[in-house]
């Protein structure tokens, strides 16, 4: 079946998910991001690849990192950026999302960056676009492709490769779009083993993550890990689904300095943010020498530049 995010000639038409995106396309996005990063860091300026283009941020859920980095990425490449205010828009009067999209597209908006709590909203909007591109900034528990890309870039920078690595992802896997996009990207780029850890109620059925090892014992999973990705735990969901409080969760699944020692001595510690310090990760680890958390944030700007440029640059 044809992938709706690719044009007939194989170029990117939308960015909706890493699931099924060819390895070469993922690598070209990472390569473009690394090139733009090198240019930005040496010259503090970039070519206006998006001059004359308009990018609309449509965030129906809260965001700090994704929204700000899409905004910076687009502006630094010369685009006009509109941060659409949902609360004061006609969507609050009952206008459908499709009609909102058609209205903004009629004003020659070139791209929409969409975050929504419902799975598949970006794909639905993509199916209604005439010309504009849709970039998924996170939908429900389904996909967060630019988070997956920035995680891949961060790992590739520090480890030199993805091929052959052992990666452990720990937390609320069942409800995590980050876990899904990370797994799709890691598998496409040849990770050797991906272990998914967490309390039973927050782990998916095995079929939801083919090729991954489901592991309830975090200490066992950590042995010889190359990369550890910790996920944010929502306290309300934790207590409702598992009857564990923050302290009990930390005792079993919190990444402490002592636990980190079970992994490879140069294991990379990652977290998409926002962090619950003292619950899923200790401050000494989050701020320690093995942490790449702020590198992830920095890389977010460049992978979003790469995605916007591949979608919109002439």
The binding site for ligand CP (CB under 6 A) comprises 63-66, 138, 147, 272-273
Quote the CA–CA distance of 60 and 47 in Å, as a whole number.
31
63 is written with which tokens? Answer: 């965001």
By C-beta, is 152 or 244 nearer to ligand CP? 152
By C-beta, is 64 or 92 nearer to ligand CP? 64
Minimum distance between the CB of residue 122 and ligand CP, rounded to whole angstroms? 14
By C-beta, is 189 or 231 nearer to ligand CP? 231
Strand partners, 120: none
Quote the CA–CA distance of 34 and 39 in Å, as a whole number.
9
Give every CB contact of residue 40 below 8 A, 6+ residues apart in sequence: 46, 76, 302
By C-beta, is 196 or 231 nearer to ligand CP? 231
CA-based radius of gyration for the chain? 19
Minimum distance between the CB of residue 66 and ligand CP, rounded to whole angstroms? 3
Minimum distance between the CB of residue 118 and ligand CP, rounded to whole angstroms? 16
Minimum distance between the CB of residue 38 and ligand CP, rounded to whole angstroms? 24
- N- to C-terminal Cα separation, the chain: 28
Quote the CA–CA distance of 77 and 311 in Å, as a whole number.
13
Cβ proximity of 21 and 307 under 8 Å:
no
Quote the CA–CA distance of 288 and 286 in Å, as a whole number.
6
Residue 124 has φ and ψ, to the nearest 5°, of -60, -45
Give every CB contact of residue 103 below 8 A, 6+ residues apart in sequence: 90, 95
> Nearest 5 degrees, angle CA 279-CA 282-CA 283?
125
By C-beta, is 30 or 178 nearer to ligand CP? 178
By C-beta, is 34 or 275 nearer to ligand CP? 275
By C-beta, is 151 or 226 nearer to ligand CP? 151
Neighbours of 103 (CB within 10 A): 13
Minimum distance between the CB of residue 110 and ligand CP, rounded to whole angstroms? 22
Minimum distance between the CB of residue 22 and ligand CP, rounded to whole angstroms? 24
Minimum distance between the CB of residue 103 and ligand CP, rounded to whole angstroms? 25
């Amino acid at each position: 079946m044809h992938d709706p995010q690719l044009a007939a000639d194989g170029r990117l038409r939308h960015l909706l998910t890493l699931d099924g995106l060819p390895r070469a396309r993922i690598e070209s996005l990472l390569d473009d991001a690394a090139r733009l990063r090198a240019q930005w860091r040496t010259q503090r300026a970039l070519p206006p690849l998006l001059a004359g283009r308009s990018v609309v941020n449509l965030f129906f859920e809260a965001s700090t990192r994704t929204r700000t980095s899409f905004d910076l990425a687009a502006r630094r490449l010369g685009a006009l950026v509109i941060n659409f205010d949902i609360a004061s828009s006609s969507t609050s009067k009952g206008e459908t999302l499709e009609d909102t999209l058609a209205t903004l597209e009629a004003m020659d908006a070139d791209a929409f960056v969409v975050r929504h709590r419902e799975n598949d909203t970006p794909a639905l909007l993509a199916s209604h676009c005439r010309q504009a591109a849709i970039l998924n900034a996170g939908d429900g528990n389904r996909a967060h492709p630019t988070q997956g890309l920035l995680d891949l870039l961060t790992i590739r920078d520090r480890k030199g490769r993805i091929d052959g690595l052992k990666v452990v992802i720990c937390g609320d896997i069942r409800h995590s779009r980050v876990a899904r996009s990370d797994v799709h990207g890691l598998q496409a780029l040849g990770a050797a083993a991906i272990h998914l850890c967490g309390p039973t109620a927050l782990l998916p059925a095995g079929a939801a993550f083919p090729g991954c090892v489901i592991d309830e014992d975090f200490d066992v999973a950590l042995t010889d890990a190359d990369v550890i990705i910790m996920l944010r735990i929502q306290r309300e969901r934790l207590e409702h689904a598992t009857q564990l409080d923050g302290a009990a969760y930390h005792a079993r699944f919190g990444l402490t300095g002592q636990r980190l020692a079970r992994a490879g001595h140069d294991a990379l510690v990652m977290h998409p943010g926002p962090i619950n310090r003292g619950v899923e990760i200790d401050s000494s680890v989050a701020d320690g020498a093995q942490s790449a958390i702020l590198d992830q944030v920095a890389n977010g700007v460049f992978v979003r530049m790469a995605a916007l440029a591949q979608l919109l640059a002439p």
